[in-house]
Amino acid sequence: MMNLFKKVLIANRGEIAVRIIRACHELGIKTAVVYSDVDRETLPVRLADEAICIGPAQPAQSYLNIPAIITAAEITDAEAIHPGYGFLAENAQFVEACNASAITFIGPSADNIRDGGDKARARQIMTKKGVPVVPGSDAPVKSEKDAVEIAKAIGFPVILKASAGGGGRGMRIVHKEKDLSQLYHTANKEAFAAFGNGDLYLEKYITEMRHIEVQLLADNYGNVIHLGERECSIQRRHQKLIEESPYVFADAKFRKRVGDTAVKAAKAMKYRNAGTVEFILDNDNEIYFMEINTRIQVEHPVTEMVTGIDIIKEQIMIAAGKKLDKKQQDIKVSGHSIECRINAEDPVRFVPQPGRIDLFIPPGGPGVRVDSAAFTGWTVPAHYDSLISKLIVYGKDREEAIARMRRALREFTVEGIKTTIPFFLKILDDPDFISGNFKTNFLEIKDINKQ
């Protein structure tokens, strides 16, 4: 094996920090992890070779504190930093700070992050390279008046989106012209509060659609491959809840078409490392570029399950200068995988439920994987995302994967706090979910909790 890093600093927390630590240790790389004062007694701190407290619970003073993280890397002699997802994972300034300190950032370039993070800019790049995009503004809309003119030209409904962000923040669907003014200003304020940038772009809103995404790997030498597609249409308020691979109705022809388009999009941006191209799929089976996520994604395990490729290890090896050792024809998608995001939330009202976990017993058995940093006695803090575990299953086909997920969810024991486990069990029993007959509006048109 080529020379890799001797030590990697993980600039994150929770399950993704554990995931990265495990990948590093399997590669023979020592690890250091940063943590806030409320995360002192957590699994990443226990598993890493070294741990550095970088500040109080508030993310701005710890996990978003660039100088503190760079200092932690220098103190621990870490040669590289893996940002995980969230926090600083898509912060171009952080990448540049790493570069200035001669520390390798395990992820894409600062330019990749800027281009991908500016959704309007990404649309421009894709349009120039012939990648299909949803009709909409070619740049951020300059005013409410411009938004009205563009909306009239492409027809209602339309959707306003934050140019600088994602995750459903700074996003509003507008069905009628009379509602555009209020929703424009609401989205603008929300985008500025969330991302420090209130710019919005506007697209035609496709009411009946599926959300399909493609996992990419790109090395530093221009080689790009895709690892198949994921189905991410089960969402609540634009937040993914269940992810699958492959897309239930995909055949070899569709996979090649969507995969080739994703690779084309990555090459248009001169992309490197791991990334994900997200698409809208309409009722006519046409695909439209939506955005490129310049980081590892929460749902990456389903792709690992059906391809046998460890995406975190690939990220590390690419960052260390290794060429991709696989060509597109080497990638085989086999079986079916499903992931449920287990959140510390009330399963009916979806209100966060921080607190002490009195008993935590994850499921096991064939084809079951649990990515988590939770354990009995751990207190879920109120300061961060409510995700406590990712439950991933694999089956020879979708029918077996659904049955295995049901079984695993029923085995999963979490006492002391409420979780979304009962909610997922109801979804998995829904006939439309079982048949694959669902779009992104699945939870809007169904009251799962009354079934």
DSSP letters spanning 268-305: HTT--EEEEEEEEE-TTS-EEEEEEE-S--TTHHHHHH
- CA dist 387 and 366 (Å) reads 24
Which amino acid appears at position 160 of this protein? L
What does the pLDDT average to over 243-272? 96
Q: How confident is the model at residue 2 (pLDDT cuts 50, 70, 90)?
A: low
Residue 393: predicted pLDDT: 99
Q: How many CB atoms neighbour CB 359 within 10 A?
A: 11
Q: How confident is the model at residue 196 (pLDDT cuts 50, 70, 90)?
A: confident
Q: How confident is the model at residue 138 (pLDDT cuts 50, 70, 90)?
A: confident
What does the pLDDT average to over 123-147? 91
- CA dist 305 and 369 (Å) reads 9
Angle separating helix axes 144-154 and 177-195, nearest 10 degrees: 120
Residue 295 has pLDDT above 90, yes or no: yes
Q: Tell me the pLDDT tens digit for each residue of 141-160.
A: 989 999 999 999 999 999 99
Residue 223 has pLDDT above 70, yes or no: yes
Q: Tell me the pLDDT tens digit for each residue of 423-439.
A: 999 999 999 999 999 99
Mean pLDDT of the chain: 95
How far from the centroid of its chain's Cα atoms is residue 1's Cα? 30
Question: Is residue 307 classed exposed, middle or buried when 0-12, 13-18 and 19+ CB atoms within 10 A define those classes?
Answer: buried
Q: Tell me the pLDDT tens digit for each residue of 22-67.
A: 999 999 999 999 999 999 999 999 999 999 999 999 999 999 999 9
Model-level pTM? 0.92
Residue 448: predicted pLDDT: 82
Give all strands of the β-sheet with 158-162 in edge-to-edge order.
172-174, 158-162, 200-204
Spell out the domains of the chain, with CATH numbers in brackets.
7-106 (3.40.50.20), 135-204 (3.30.1490.20), 210-450 (3.30.470.20)
Q: How confident is the model at residue 447 (pLDDT cuts 50, 70, 90)?
A: confident
Residue 68: predicted pLDDT: 98
Residue 83 has pLDDT above 60, yes or no: yes
Residue 233 has pLDDT above 90, yes or no: yes
Catalytic positions: 295
Residue 355: predicted pLDDT: 97
Q: Tell me the pLDDT tens digit for each residue of 106-125.
A: 999 999 999 998 888 898 99
DSSP state of 16: H
What does the pLDDT average to over 156-174? 86
Q: How confident is the model at residue 449 (pLDDT cuts 50, 70, 90)?
A: confident
Residue 119: predicted pLDDT: 80
Residues 6+ apart with CB under 8 A from 400: 336, 367
What does the pLDDT average to over 263-268? 97
CB 428 within 8 A of CB 420: no
CB 62 within 8 A of CB 386: no
